[in-house]
Structure 1
C-alpha cells in the first residue's frame, strides 16, 4: 500500500516530463530549440516534435509573409526637386537561425526588431536609387523599374538578416508641404502665360480673318458696282436707241408721249402744285384740242 503514492508520484513526474518534452510546430511558423542560449535544433516542418525537458526552450518565429510600411522619406532626385516618398515592403523569414542571430529575440518581439532593421535597409536603398534619376522618372511609368531596383538591392542586403524581401512598392511621391505653395504658384503663372499666348494668337487670327473678309467684301462690292455700271450703261444705250428709233418713226407722237410723262412725274403726290405761266410751252398739248404737227 505504501508503494501506491510513490507510483502515483512517479507517474505524475513522468507525465510532466513527457509533456515538457513534446511541442507542436504549427504550419504557419518555424521553431528553434535552444539549450542555454545555443541552437540545438531547427524545426520547419509542421507536426509533433521533441526536446529535452526543462533545459531546452522552444523559440517560435512566424513564417508567413509580413508587411512593412516605411515612414515618409524625403529624397532629392538629380534635378534637385525634393519629394516625400512613402513605400511599403513585403518580406518573410528565409533563414530562421540566421534571423535569430541577427535580432536576438523570438516571437512578436523578433518580428518588430526584424522590421526595424529591414526598414533601415529599404530606406537607404530607396534614397540611393531615387537619387540617381530625375523626379519625372519617379512620377511616371518608369517607377516600376525603380521599384524593382530597390527590391533587388534590399533583397541582397537583407540576406544577412535571414530575410527575403519579396516586393517593394512606392505608395506616394509628393512635394514637401513647404514647396507646394510655390509650385502651385509657378504652375498657375505658367498656365496664365499659356492662356495669354493662346488669346494673343486668337486675336492675331481674328484680325487676319477680319482683314481678309473686309478685303473680300470690298472686292465683291467693287465688282458688283462695276458690273452694275456696265449694265446701267448698256441699258441707257438701249433706251437711247429705242427713243431714237421711236423719234425717227413719229417725232410728233414721241414729243406728245414725252410731255405726258413729264406731266405724270411733275404731278405726283396728293398735294402737288405747279406755279407756271399758262402760256408756257409745258402746257402745249393741254391748250390745243387737237395735236398739230410741228414745223
Structure 2
C-alpha cells in the first residue's frame, strides 16, 4: 500500500519531466534550444522537438514576413531643401542563431529598434545624394531600391533580410510649407505675366500688320478708283465731244436742261432774279452759250 502511494507522485513527476522535455514548432515559427543562455540547436521545420528539462529552454521567433513603419524623419537633399520622409519596410528573420546573438533577450522588439536606426541612416544617406526634385517625383523606385540595398547589407549582421522598403510620404516641413507655396505662387504669377506679355507683343504685331495691310489695300483701292474715274471722265468727255460734233444745238439744249435740273432741285434751291432775266429766256440763254448752241 505504501509502495503504491509512493509510485503515484513519482509517476506524476516523471510525466511532468517527460512533458517538459517536449516542445513543438509551428510552421510560422523558428525555434532555438538554449542551454545556460548558449544556443545548442535550432529548428526551422514544423514538428515536435526534445530538450533536456530544467537545463535547456526553447525560444521561438516569428518566421513570417514582418512590417516596420519608421517615424517621420527630416532629411536634407543636395539642394538644402529640408523634407520630411516616412518609410515602410518588410523584413524577415532568416538566421535565428545570428538573430539571437545580435538581439539577446530583447527579441523582435529590440530588433525593430535596431532596424529602425538602420533604415533612418540609409534614408539619410540616399536622400542626401539627390536633389529634392528627385525625392518629390512620382517615380522613386530607384531611390527606394537603394535604401533597401543599404538596409539589407546592414541588417544581415542581425540575421535579418530586408525584403522591401517603400517611401510612404515625402513632404516639406510644416513651417516651410507656407513660404514654399508663396514662392511657387510667385513663380507661377511671373510665368503668367511673361505669357501675357508675349501674347500682347504678338497681338500688337498682328494688329500692326493688319493696319498696314488695310492702308495698303485702301491706297490700292483709291488708286484703282481714281484710274477708273479718270477713264470714265475721259469716256464721258469723248461722248460729249462726239455728241457736240453731230448736233451742236441739241447738245446745247441738253446742257441747258441739265443746268436747269441741277439748279432747281426740289426743296433745296432758291433763286432770286429779275423776270426778264436771261435765266428764264431759253432763246437768249441759248444765244449766250454761243453761235454753236443757236444751231447756225
TM over 0.5: yes
Counterpart Cα distance in 2 of 1:98 and 1:159: 9
What is the aligned partner in structure 2 of residue 159 from structure 1? 156
Q: What is the deviation of 1:138?
A: 2.1
Deviations for 1:92-117, whole angstroms, at most 9, x for unmatched residues? 11111111121112xxx611110100
Q: 1:280 to 1:45 in 2, by over 3 A?
A: same
Query: Would you say 1:285 and 2:249 are equivalent positions?
Result: no
Unaligned runs of 5+ in 1: none
What is the aligned partner in structure 1 of residue 45 from structure 2? 45
What is the aligned partner in structure 1 of residue 184 from structure 2? 187
Query: Would you say 1:135 and 2:164 are equivalent positions?
Result: no
Counterpart Cα distance in 1 of 2:295 and 2:141: 115
- Which of the residues 110, 116, 120 maps onto 1:119? 116
Unaligned runs of 5+ in 2: 286-292
TM-score (norm 1): 0.90
What is the aligned partner in structure 2 of residue 246 from structure 1? 243
- Which of the residues 225, 228, 240 maps onto 2:225? 228
Deviations for 1:82-140, whole angstroms, at most 9, x for unmatched residues? 211111111111111111121112xxx61111010011111112111221222222233
Query: Would you say 1:144 and 2:137 are equivalent positions?
Result: no
Q: Is the 8 A contact 1:259 1:282 kept in 2?
A: no
What secondary structure sits across from 2:281 in the alignment?
Answer: helix
> What does residue range 80-99 of structure 1 map to in structure 2 within 5 Å?
80-99=80-99
Counterpart Cα distance in 2 of 1:123 and 1:280: 122
Q: What is the deviation of 1:241?
A: 0.8
Q: What is the deviation of 1:282?
A: 2.6
Query: Would you say 1:257 and 2:238 are equivalent positions?
Result: no
- Which of the residues 154, 177, 186 maps onto 2:174? 177
What is the aligned partner in structure 2 of residue 202 from structure 1? 199
What is the aligned partner in structure 2 of residue 104 from structure 1? 104
What is the aligned partner in structure 2 of residue 276 from structure 1? 273
Q: Is the 8 A contact 2:278 2:284 kept in 1?
A: no
Counterpart Cα distance in 1 of 2:277 and 2:249: 18
TM-score (norm 2): 0.90
Query: Would you say 1:213 and 2:201 are equivalent positions?
Result: no
What secondary structure sits across from 1:201 in the alignment?
Answer: helix
Counterpart Cα distance in 2 of 1:285 and 1:293: 10
Counterpart Cα distance in 2 of 1:113 and 1:142: 33
Counterpart Cα distance in 2 of 1:82 and 1:103: 34
What secondary structure sits across from 2:33 in the alignment?
Answer: strand
Counterpart Cα distance in 1 of 2:294 and 2:186: 96
Counterpart Cα distance in 2 of 1:86 and 1:219: 69
What secondary structure sits across from 2:85 in the alignment?
Answer: strand
When the two chains are superposed, the root-mean-square deviation of aligned CA atoms in Å is 2.2
Q: 1:95 to 1:283 in 2, by over 3 A?
A: same
Q: What is the deviation of 1:261?
A: 2.0
What secondary structure sits across from 1:230 in the alignment?
Answer: helix
What is the aligned partner in structure 1 of residue 79 from structure 2? 79
What is the aligned partner in structure 2 of residue 68 from structure 1? 68
